[in-house]
Amino acid sequence: MDIDNNAVPSATSTTPDTPVRLAVIVGSVRDGRFGPVVANWFTERARAHGGLEVDVIDLAETELPARLSGSPGPEAAAALGAVTPRLAAADAFVVVTPEYNHSYPGPLKNAIDWHREQWQAKPVGFVSYGGLSGGLRAVEHLRPVFAELHTVTVRDTVSFHNAWERFGNDGQPLDAAGANGAAKTMLDQLLWWAKALRTARATHPYGS
């Protein structure tokens, strides 16, 4: 896939002008998946939006272990080491997810469940795609999951109904104005929450 991963940024003091560190999580791992097309487009929009440093975490490239453990073995620890620090460094998240059987992919839930404090007191946005529902049922299932992890999910989402018919051969949406407008609305909300919560975490560490 074309999307690239940035190096994990170091934890440093921030100012209001410090770019927000956004982790874009690609949730599908299936062969022949459409997710990279959607993720590539959205990543372009996020980088063009301004005020964001974008890190793409593609779950198809991480191979997180399926068996959860409080004391992971060496192989599991190595796999987690490629993901966990990047989630911890992020100020905000966007999950790019399809809808499988009225919900979201199992590997995405696995990645969520391997982590806890990395999610806390940070905002989450959603870009979904699928058939007639545009992946929105997956998003509605994800909201209570992230609420349990003490995140803030933003109100507006980006969704593509019959997604494979909505993009041209160049990887861009056929309705560029509508899709780009939806992405901007969601990113505006995400950026507001990210800055507010980053300041709050810095002045008063979050405890649950």
- Token duo for residue 151: 């995140």
Q: Does the residue 13 lie in any domain? A: no
What does the DSSP 8-state code read for residue 148?
A: H
Report how many domains make up the chain.
1
- Nearest alpha-carbon partner for 105 in 30, 22, 24: 30
Three-state secondary-structure class, residue 90:
coil
CA distance 156 to 31: 29
Give mean pLDDT, residues 157-173.
Answer: 97
pLDDT band at 132 (very low <50, low <70, confident <90, very high): very high
Which conformational region is residue 54 in: left (phi greater than 0), alpha (psi within -120 to 50 degrees), or beta? beta
Name the packing angle between helices 35-49 and 176-203 (round to 10°): 70
* CATH number for position 175: 3.40.50.360
Q: Does the residue 177 lie in any domain? A: yes
pTM over 0.85: yes
CA distance 75 to 38: 31
- Nearest alpha-carbon partner for 41 in 120, 106, 87, 94: 94
208 C-beta neighbours (distance < 10 Å), count: 8
Q: Does the residue 1 lie in any domain? A: no
Q: Does the residue 114 lie in any domain? A: yes
Asked if 190 contacts 92 with a C-beta cutoff of 8 angstroms, the reply is: yes
Q: Does the residue 40 lie in any domain? A: yes
Name the residue range of residue 156's domain. Answer: 20-67+76-202
Interstrand relation of 20-26 and 92-98 (parallel, antiparallel or unpaired): parallel
pLDDT band at 13 (very low <50, low <70, confident <90, very high): low
pLDDT digits (tens, 9 = 90+) for 61-81: 988 988 888 888 888 889 999
In this prediction, residue 208 carries a pLDDT of 52
Q: Residues near 76 by Cβ (< 8 Å), separated by ≥ 6?
A: 64, 65, 67, 69
- Nearest alpha-carbon partner for 25 in 137, 121, 104, 103: 104
Q: Does the residue 161 lie in any domain? A: yes
Q: Does the residue 6 lie in any domain? A: no
Three-state secondary-structure class, residue 111:
helix
- Token duo for residue 94: 């966007």
pLDDT digits (tens, 9 = 90+) for 21-31: 999 999 999 99
Q: Does the residue 59 lie in any domain? A: yes
Considering only residues 187 and 70, tell me which one the structure prediction assigns the higher pLDDT: 187
